[in-house]
Amino acid sequence: MKRFAFVLFLAVLVLLAILFVNTYRKGSKQLQGVNTASPLELPDSIINHLAQAIRFRTVSNADPSQMDSAQFEKFIAYIGKTYPLIHSKLKLERVNQFGLLYYWQGSNPQLKPALLMGHYDVVPVIQGTERIWKYKPFAAEMAGDILYGRGTLDDKVTVMGILEAVEHLLKTGHQPERSYYLAFGQDEEVSGLQGGKQIAELLKSRKVQLEYVLDEGGVIKSDGIPGLEKPIALVGVAEKGYATLELSVTGEGGHSSMPPPQTSIGVLAEAIDRLQKKPFQARLGGAIGHLQDYLAPEMPLGTRLAMSNRWLFKPAIISMISQSPAGNASVRTTIAPTVFNAGVKDNVLPIEASARINFRILPGDSVEGVVAHVKKAINNPQVKVEKLGQFDSNPSPISDTASLGFRLIHRSIKRCFPDVLVAPNLVVGATDSRYYTGLTNNIFRFVPVRMNDEDLKRVHGTNERINKGDFKNVVTFFVEMLKGDRGEKVKG
Ligand SMILES: [Zn+2]
C-alpha cells in the first residue's frame, strides 16, 4: 500500500513538472522592442472624406439589376476627385463595371505583389429602424469627434483608409519596392460574386501570385476577452465556410379533422430537433489553437497553465468557450435553422413543409461533411436534404503566422498601438478574401479599429459609427504596412 502511494505521489509530481514545463517553455509571442510610429501629419479633413463617402447609398443587392448604380458611379467619381495622385500614378481597372482594381508598380520586380482589399457596398438599414438611429444613417453627421453612418465600420473605413494612406505616401514621394494591388468590391454584403470573385478570377487568369492579401475581418477588441482585459488585435488567419441546406417533407394533405399521427410539419420539426441535439464536434486546433498559443503567455497563471496544456485540459477549455454563442462558433461548425415554411390554413393539413438551415463550417469540416452529418442525424428518408449551393464555400486554409505578411501586420500594429496584444484568430463570418485562395497562402483579415462588444453590435446594426481618432489610426496603420514593407528584410 505504501509503495502504491509512493508511485502515485511520483506520478503526480511528474505530471506537475510536465504541466509547468509546458506552461513556461514558451515565452511571449509578442514582438518586442518595436519603436512606436511618430504621428503622421494628417489633415483633419480626412474624416470629411469618409463622411462624404458614407453619403453615397451604395447598398448592394443580391440581384445586381436592383442596385442603384448611380450611387456607385457617384462614389467612384468622388474618390477619383478626392485622390488625384492615386488616379494619376496608379493604374485603375474597373472589373465587371463596379469592381475597382488599382495597381501600384513597385521598384523591385523580384518581389511578389501584395494586395490590400475592402468593399464599398453596405447593408441596407432595416425598414422601421431609421427612427432609432441617433442621426440619419446616410447623412454622415458628426457628433463631437464621432461620425455616424452606415459603412463607417463595415467597410468604407477600410476602403477610404487605404486610399488616404496611399495618397499620403504619394504626396511624400514614397515609392514602394513591392508592387501593390488595391481591390475594392461592390457586393461583398451579398456574397461578392460580382466584385471580389471577379477581381480574383481576373488575377488568376493573369497567373498573378501574391505575397499576401489583407482584407477586413478582425478588429482590435478594446475590452479584451474573458480573463484578459487588455485590448487585443485579432488578426484573422482563417475563415469559416458557409452552406445552407433545405430540408423538405411532402405530406398527404386533407382535412384537419382526421390527421395522421404526424403531419409534414411534425416530421420536419422533429428532424430539426434531432439535428440540433447532434451538434458538430468541437475542436481546438487550427486558428483557435494559434490564438491560444499567442494568448497563453499573457494570461494569469491558471488559464495560462490550462491553455499551455490543451492535451489535458481540452474538454474543460471547450466547455468554457462554448458557453457563449461567439465562443461556440469559434470551436465548431454551427447549425442555425433560419427559415421555416409550411401550411396554408388552420383546418387544412399541410402538404409541403420546408426549412432552411445555415451552417458555418469550421476549418477541418467541409460542405460535403455537413450534408453527411445532417442526413445521419435526421436519419429519416421522409426528409429530403438538398444543398442550396449558390453561396456554399468550404472553410479557408489557415495562413502562416511566420509569413512576411503576418509579421508585417504584427509589427505595424505594435508601431501604431503599443498597448495592444496581437493574436491570430478564426473569422466566423465570410469575407471576399475567400476568393483569393489560390493566389497566395497568406490571407489575413484585419482592420485596426478599436471596438468593444457594444460597438460590434453596430456593424450591420443601428448607430454604426467611428471616432475621428480611430479613422486616423487606420490610415496610419496602412501607411506603416506600406512603408514598413522592405521585401524579405522585415524583421521579427
Ligand atoms: Zn464587410
Domain containing 60 equals 46-237+397-489
Q: Which residues contact 322 (CB under 8 A, 6 or more apart)?
A: 282, 328, 331, 332
| Same domain, yes or no: 203 and 271 | no
| Same domain, yes or no: 91 and 202 | yes
| Same domain, yes or no: 358 and 431 | no
Q: Confirm if 284 and 317 have CB atoms less than 8 A apart.
A: yes
**Helix/strand/coil (H, E, C) string of the chain?**
CHHHHHHHHHHHHHHHHHHHHHHHHCCCCCCCCCCCCCCCCCCCCHHHHHHHHHHCCCECCCCHHHCCHHHHHHHHHHHHHHCHHHHHHCEEEEECCCEEEEEECCCCCCCCCEEEEEECCECCCCCCCHHHCCCCCCCCCEECCEEECCCCCCCHHHHHHHHHHHHHHHHCCCCCCCCEEEEEECCHHHCCCCCHHHHHHHHHHCCCCCCCEEECCCCEECCCECCECCCEEEEEEEECEEEEEEEEEECCCCECCCCCCCCHHHHHHHHHHHHHCCCCCCCCCHHHHHHHHHHHHHCCHHHHHHHHCHHHHHHHHHHHHCCCHHHHHHHCCEEEEEEEEECCCCCECCCEEEEEEEEEECECECHHHHHHHHHHHHCCCCCEEEECCCCCECCCCCCCCCCHHHHHHHHHHHHHCCCCEEEEEEECCCCHHHHHECCECCEEECCCCEECHHHHHHCCCCCCEEEHHHHHHHHHHHHHHHHCCCHHHCCC
- Cα–Cα distance measured from residue 305 to residue 322, given in angstroms and rounded to the nearest whole number: 19
Lookup: cell for 215: 482584407
Q: How far is the CA of 89 from the centre of ligand 1 (A)?
A: 28
Among candidate residues 347, 367, 387, the one where a domain is terminated:
387
pLDDT score of 492: 45
Q: Which residues contact 90 (CB under 8 A, 6 or more apart)?
A: 102, 103, 104, 166, 182
| Same domain, yes or no: 177 and 243 | no
pLDDT score of 487: 61
- Cα–Cα distance measured from residue 425 to residue 431, given in angstroms and rounded to the nearest whole number: 14
Among candidate residues 359, 387, 415, the one where a domain is terminated:
387
Q: How far is the CA of 58 from the centre of ligand 1 (A)?
A: 13
Q: How far is the CA of 314 from the centre of ligand 1 (A)?
A: 32
| Same domain, yes or no: 408 and 366 | no
Four-CA torsion 9, 10, 15, 21, nearest 10 degrees: 130
The pLDDT tens digits along the chain (492 residues) read 788 888 899 999 999 988 888 888 888 999 999 999 988 888 888 999 999 999 999 999 989 899 999 999 999 999 999 999 999 999 999 999 999 999 999 999 999 999 999 999 999 998 888 889 999 999 999 999 999 999 999 999 999 999 999 999 999 999 999 999 999 999 999 999 999 999 999 999 999 999 999 999 999 999 988 888 899 999 999 999 999 999 999 998 889 999 999 999 999 999 999 999 999 999 998 999 999 999 999 999 999 999 999 999 999 999 999 999 989 999 999 999 999 999 999 999 999 999 999 999 999 999 999 999 999 999 999 999 999 988 899 999 999 999 999 999 999 999 999 999 999 999 999 999 999 999 999 999 999 999 998 988 899 889 999 999 999 999 999 999 999 987 655 544
- Cα–Cα distance measured from residue 44 to residue 462, given in angstroms and rounded to the nearest whole number: 26
Give the angle subtended at the CA of 411 by the CAs of 406 and 416, to the nearest 5°. 125
| Same domain, yes or no: 229 and 243 | no
Q: Tell me, what CATH number does 272's domain have?
A: 3.30.70.360
Q: How far is the CA of 134 from the centre of ligand 1 (A)?
A: 22
Q: Which residues contact 68 (CB under 8 A, 6 or more apart)?
A: 57, 59
- Cα–Cα distance measured from residue 443 to residue 430, given in angstroms and rounded to the nearest whole number: 13
Among candidate residues 326, 354, 387, the one where a domain is terminated:
387
Q: How far is the CA of 240 from the centre of ligand 1 (A)?
A: 15
Report yes or no on 11 lying in a domain: no
Catalytic residues: 121, 188
Report yes or no on 310 lying in a domain: yes
Report yes or no on 53 lying in a domain: yes
Report yes or no on 22 lying in a domain: no
Q: How far is the CA of 318 from the centre of ligand 1 (A)?
A: 28
- Cα–Cα distance measured from residue 151 to residue 231, given in angstroms and rounded to the nearest whole number: 23
Best CA proximity match to 297, nearest among 144, 428, 423, 147 = 423
Rounded to a whole number of angstroms, the distance between the first and last alpha carbons of the chain is 55
Calculate the CA 379 to chain-centre distance. Answer: 34
Q: How far is the CA of 431 from the centre of ligand 1 (A)?
A: 7
| Same domain, yes or no: 423 and 292 | no
Lookup: cell for 14: 511528474
Q: Which residues contact 33 (CB under 8 A, 6 or more apart)?
A: none
Report yes or no on 335 lying in a domain: yes
- Cα–Cα distance measured from residue 376 to residue 365, given in angstroms and rounded to the nearest whole number: 15
Lookup: cell for 234: 485579432
- When divided into structural domains, the chain yields a total of 2
| Same domain, yes or no: 377 and 286 | yes
pLDDT score of 199: 98
Report yes or no on 12 lying in a domain: no
Q: How far is the CA of 153 from the centre of ligand 1 (A)?
A: 8
Report yes or no on 33 lying in a domain: no
Calculate the CA 437 to chain-centre distance. Answer: 15
Q: How far is the CA of 154 from the centre of ligand 1 (A)?
A: 5
Cis peptide bond N-terminal to 453, omega within 30: no
| Same domain, yes or no: 307 and 441 | no
Q: How many residues does the chain have?
A: 492
| Same domain, yes or no: 178 and 263 | no
| Same domain, yes or no: 63 and 112 | yes
Report yes or no on 484 lying in a domain: yes
pLDDT score of 486: 76
Q: How far is the CA of 265 from the centre of ligand 1 (A)?
A: 36
Q: Tell me, what CATH number does 95's domain have?
A: 3.40.630.10
Q: Confirm if 405 and 399 have CB atoms less than 8 A apart.
A: yes
| Same domain, yes or no: 439 and 482 | yes
Q: How far is the CA of 232 from the centre of ligand 1 (A)?
A: 20
Q: How far is the CA of 212 from the centre of ligand 1 (A)?
A: 19
